[in-house]
Amino acid sequence: MIKTTNMILAELSSYANPKAKLSRLVKEGTYIQIVRGLYETDRGVPRHLLAGSIYGPSYISFAYALGFYGMIPEAVYAVTSATFEKRKNKKYQTPFGMFLYRDVPSAVFPLGIRLLQEGDYFYRIAEPEKALCDQLYTMPPTANTRELSALIFEDLRVEETTFQSLSAEKVAFLAQFYRSTNIRRLVALLKRRRRG
C-alpha cells in the first residue's frame, strides 16, 4: 500500500519521536521508500501500480503501454508515463525500477485513458491507440507513410495483428489535438491498410 510521510507520521503520533520510528521501520523493511515523501509497504507490488503516485498528474503510456497491450515484443525496462505542461522530462530510479515521464499536448492529455484497478490499487493507462500516438508524437517526423510504416513495424516492432485491430476513427479523433505529422500519417496508414 502506498503511503505518504504525513500519513505514516500521523499513524506513529503516539511515539515520542515519530520520525525516528519511521527511520527504523524503513531500515527494518516495513516501509520501502519509493521517492522522497512516498513509501510502499509491499516489496512485491507490480511497479506500474506506483507510476501515478510518483509524479503526476500522469498516465502510463509510450513503450510501457505498448508492451502492456502486447503490441511490441520487447520487455520494457522502465515504466513510461505521459504528463503535460511540465516542460521537461523526469526520471526516477527507485527500489522498484525506473520511471520516466514526458509531456504530451495539454489538449490531448485527458483523452483516451483507461482507469484500471488491481487489488487496492488504481492506475491510469493510455488506450492502445493513444499509447501509439503518444509514442509517435515524441519521435522525429517521417517524410511519408512508407517511412512511418518502417518506423512502426521495423523500429518499434509493432505487431501487425494488433496494429490492424486499432481504431482509425479513434486515431483520427486524437490526431487533431497533437498537431503532429506522424499522427496524421498514422491515420492515413490505418485507413489504407483497412482498405487493403
Residues 82 and 106 in one domain: yes
Same structural domain for residues 34 and 84? no
Q: Is 164 exposed, middle or buried (0-12, 13-18, 19+ CB in 10 A)?
A: exposed
* In a shared domain, residues 26 and 120: no
d(CA 152, CA 43): 36
Q: Could you tell me which residues come within 8 angstroms of residue 135 by beta carbon, excluding any fewer than 6 positions away? A: 61, 62, 63, 66, 156
Percent of the chain scored above 90 by pLDDT?
Answer: 93
In which residue are the cell numbers 523493511 written?
A: 29
Residues 96 and 167 in one domain: yes
Chain position carrying cell 516542460: 87
Q: How far is CA 71 from the centre of its chain?
A: 15
The tally of domains found in the chain comes to: 2
Q: Confidence band (pLDDT; 50, 70, 90) for 76?
A: confident
Clarify whether residues 98 and 158 are in a common domain.
yes
Q: What are phi and psi of 136, to 5 degrees?
A: -70, -30
- DSSP code for 55: S
Assess whether 85 and 140 both reside in one domain. yes
pLDDT single digits (tens) 156-191: 999 999 999 999 999 999 999 999 999 999 999 998
Of 152, 101, 154, residue with least CA distance to 128 = 152
Host H or E run for residue 164: helix 160-164
Statement to judge: residues 53 and 30 lie in one domain: no
- Which domain covers residue 14, as residue numbers? 2-40
Residues 93 and 131 placed together within one structural domain of the fold: yes
> Grid coordinates representing 180?
503532429
The reply to whether 65 and 152 lie within a common domain is: yes
- Residue 173 belongs to domain with CATH number: 3.30.460
Mean pLDDT of 31-46: 95
Same domain for 96 and 30, yes or no, is no
Residue 65 sits at the vertex; the CA angle it makes with 61 and 70, to the nearest 5 degrees, is 160
